[in-house]
Amino acid sequence: MTDRTKILFGDRAILLQKILSNIITINQISSSRCYYEIKERIDYLIYLEQILDDNKTVFKYNPHLEIFSAIQAEFLMKNEVKSRNVFTFLSQDKSTGKYFCRSFFPQTDKDYSIGQTNWTLLYKKKIQKSTGIETVLYDRLKKDF
C-alpha cells in the first residue's frame, strides 16, 4: 500500500499493535487505492486465531516448489473457512523457538499444498501472550494405559 507509507511504514509488530488499538483505523487502510489487493486478507483476519488453533492439514513447506512465490516459511496449514480454503504460512523464531504466522490468505486459483509433504500433527499448544496462559490444543503424544 505504497500510497499509505506515512501511516503503514515500520515494524510489522508495531503496525499490528496500532491497528489492534485503533490508532490506525480500517478507514485509513481502506481509503488506499491498493486496498482491493488485500481486502480478502483483512476480511479473513478475524478467523486467524481459529485457523492457527485448528488441527487439520499441516505441510512441511518447501518454498522451492513454488518458484513464483516469495514466501519463505517452514510450515503450511490449509484450512477451510467460510467454504473456502485459507493458506497459512508459519515460521519459527530462532531465538524463542516459537512459531508465528508469516502470511495467510484465502485461496484464489493456486493450491499451495500441491506437492508439499503432509505431516501428522502430534502435539500443539498455544500461549495467550497477554496472560501467559498455556493451552494444549492437541496431544497425541500422551499415552493412556
Residue-wise pLDDT for 84-125, tens only, equals 999 999 999 999 988 888 898 999 989 999 999 999 888 888
Please calculate the CA angle 138-97-130 and round it to the nearest 5 degrees: 70
* Contacts of residue 74, Cβ cutoff 8 Å, sequence gap at least 6: 60, 61, 90, 91, 92, 99
Q: What pTM was computed for the model?
A: 0.77
Chunked into runs of 10 residues, the chain (145 residues) has average pLDDT values of 74 79 86 86 86 85 88 93 93 90 90 92 86 90 70
pLDDT on residue 145:
54
